[in-house]
Structure 1
Amino acid sequence: MKLIDQLGQNHVFEKMPERIISLVPSQTQTLYDLGLEDEIVGITKFCIHPYHFKSTKTKIGGTKKVHTEKIKSLQPDIIIANKEENTLEIVNELKEICPVWVTNVETLEDNTQMIKDFGLLFNKRVEAQKWNDKIKFALDNFKLYIKDKPSYRTAYFIWREPYMVAGAQTYIDELLKLNKFKNIYADKTERYPEINLEDIMREGDPQLVFLSSEPYPFKEEHAFEIGRFTHHGKTVFVDGEMFSWYGTRLSQAFDYFKKLHEKL
């Protein structure tokens, strides 16, 4: 079986991989949703869905730092990584153990392709098609819903000390655009630029300031701190999983987005 991952890397498998290690939380959930629970032998400490994996699967570290010897001991025949979440150093190191399949999801089309690829890779074509059909149906419905909604200048914060926001060519920015949230930092060259709060008015004067629940857990005191510099902006705490978890999780995001718009 010859397949190409989303970085254009060629992979040849003599048989379907049966021992999977997943290095990304959203991809762990997607593999589970495709019916691959028994094949998943290792996950990261951040893989919190499904909940019972916490006690049934082996933790192999985080997304940026892994325990190589523990991974070796699990004898995987494939490791599922991601260009953004995992470092090139980790990927190259783990290639010495077994093939490393790397995803790259920046757009909704990329997301569809990733699920389709998993279907081919693990002989779950029917399941993958069902999920892609489900997501497309929900997406088409949401596009009708959002059609007449107003557009808002928006800043989406992901980190503090230093303050960082989502920029262009990110999956978060893709979902912001889908929601007609105009990302004021989409013209930055960095995908996740560091910013100074003092400059936020000059750089776009956002009407909405989104504080994500992950990867940094923003709290009320941070909203107050940021609010001192965004005189016209409404600060809103948002579920980071809905904006940044790709894969099958996207199917749950559209109802969340509708509720978010109703609150605005």
Structure 2
Amino acid sequence: MFRDLIDAIGVRHAPVTVPARIVSLVPSITELLFALKLGDQVVGRTHYCIHPAPLVMPLPSVGGTKKIRHARLQALRPTHVIVNIDENPRELAERLMADGLQVIVTHPLTPEDNVSLYRLIGGIFNRVAEAEALAARFERTLAELRQVAWPRRQVLYLIWRKPWMGINRDTYIARMLALVGWETLPAECEARYPELEINKTLLDAADLILFSSEPYRFLPEDLEGFARDYNCPPEKLRLIDGEMTSWYGSRAIQGLRYMGQLTREISVSTRSSHAP
């Protein structure tokens, strides 16, 4: 199970033999490291790495997820740097490799990929038992979610404005939403995070329009403006916690519960709005 520790670009990693010095450039994986009881081996983070707050805040930041201060990272003397294909530019990862650092590349594409992510990180850093415990919790929570026959809905999931941007169905977020029967719009699109033309056809096709809390932090006033500008029924518009839909790692377990609860709440409110 833990014998082949192969990352998202096919690089095989060996388990560490001494305590590591880890810099994580992926917020959700920073949180995962602490869940695996590796917090004392994390020496650096990005300023977007905010969980678990009391423990990560004292750690030095090396910058954002797209641009970092390389000299600051090197000064931390890391043995491993963890990156993600969607969140960190390829050029950044390649420079870190060229600097002689051991770079672990991650790329979960489905919620189910969290299990292999737990085992990859747990296997490399000798936290096998902790990784298996997380995997068991995740699989149990996923099984509970799949026991429900969720109603099918077409949803527009917005991550940005000026320009409006959404997601395609090949993203981790879309596959998380699909677990509760939510199919994202547009149905077909090449770009993973496409720019969108908001028009009547798109709005009429959507049963729900979801405004994420990240990367753009939509607020209630954004929904009010959207309803006014596009003559859209306010009951179709919902804020959604982007951490719960897009963060893999240990938060994905909470994300599964969140999706179940949110879907139940929306079903109840929809029935109430249609009641005579």
Q: How would you bin the TM-score normalised by the shorter chain?
A: over 0.9
Question: Which secondary structure does the structure 2 equivalent of 1:123 belong to?
Answer: coil
Cα deviation for residue 263 of structure 1 reads: 2.1
| The one of 249, 252, 260 aligned to 1:250 | 252
Query: Does residue 201 of structure 1 match 2:201?
Result: yes
**Alpha-carbon spacing, 1:206–1:16, altered in 2? closer, same or farther (3 Å):** farther
Output one character per residue of 1:51-76: Cα deviation in whole Å (capped at 9) or x when no partner: 12343211110100111000000000
Query: Does residue 216 of structure 1 match 2:234?
Result: no
Question: Which secondary structure does the structure 1 equivalent of 2:5 belong to?
Answer: strand
CA distance in 1, matches of 2:44, 2:111: 27
Match of residue 262 from structure 2: 260
Cα deviation for residue 256 of structure 1 reads: 1.4
**Alpha-carbon spacing, 1:183–1:2, altered in 2? closer, same or farther (3 Å):** closer
Match of residue 192 from structure 1: 193
**Alpha-carbon spacing, 1:70–1:251, altered in 2? closer, same or farther (3 Å):** same
Percent identity of paired positions between Structure 1 and Structure 2: 34
Contact 2:156/2:184 (CA < 8 Å) preserved in 1?
A: yes
**Alpha-carbon spacing, 1:18–1:60, altered in 2? closer, same or farther (3 Å):** same
Cα deviation for residue 13 of structure 1 reads: 6.5
Output one character per residue of 1:113-151: Cα deviation in whole Å (capped at 9) or x when no partner: 11110111001111001000001001101111x31x311
Contact 1:79/1:99 (CA < 8 Å) preserved in 2?
A: yes
Q: Which amino acid aligns with 2:251?
A: R
Q: Which amino acid aligns with 1:92?
A: E
| The one of 113, 117, 129 aligned to 1:126 | 129
Q: Which amino acid aligns with 2:130?
A: E
Range with greater deviation from structure 2 (14-23 or 40-49): 14-23
Range with greater deviation from structure 2 (8-17 or 44-53): 8-17
Question: Which secondary structure does the structure 2 equivalent of 1:61 belong to?
Answer: coil
Match of residue 230 from structure 2: 229
Question: Which secondary structure does the structure 1 equivalent of 2:116 belong to?
Answer: helix
Range with greater deviation from structure 2 (35-44 or 109-118): 109-118
CA distance in 2, matches of 1:3, 1:165: 33
CA distance in 1, matches of 2:201, 2:226: 11
Question: Which secondary structure does the structure 2 equivalent of 1:134 belong to?
Answer: helix
CA distance in 2, matches of 1:218, 1:50: 23
The TM-score with structure 2 as length reference comes to 0.89
Which runs of 5 or more structure 2 residues have no equivalent in the other structure? Answer: 267-276
Question: Which secondary structure does the structure 2 equivalent of 1:197 belong to?
Answer: coil
Question: Which secondary structure does the structure 1 equivalent of 2:183 belong to?
Answer: strand
Contact 1:7/1:102 (CA < 8 Å) preserved in 2?
A: yes
CA distance in 2, matches of 1:115, 1:14: 16
The TM-score with structure 1 as length reference comes to 0.92
Cα deviation for residue 100 of structure 1 reads: 0.7
CA distance in 1, matches of 2:240, 2:85: 24
Cα deviation for residue 179 of structure 1 reads: 1.2
CA distance in 2, matches of 1:173, 1:2: 29
**Alpha-carbon spacing, 1:14–1:25, altered in 2? closer, same or farther (3 Å):** closer
RMSD: 1.9
CA distance in 2, matches of 1:14, 1:221: 49
Range with greater deviation from structure 2 (23-32 or 224-233): 224-233
Contact 2:13/2:124 (CA < 8 Å) preserved in 1?
A: no
- Larger strand fraction of residues: 1
CA distance in 2, matches of 1:65, 1:94: 12
Output one character per residue of 1:66-121: Cα deviation in whole Å (capped at 9) or x when no partner: 11000000000000000000001110111114111000111123221111101110
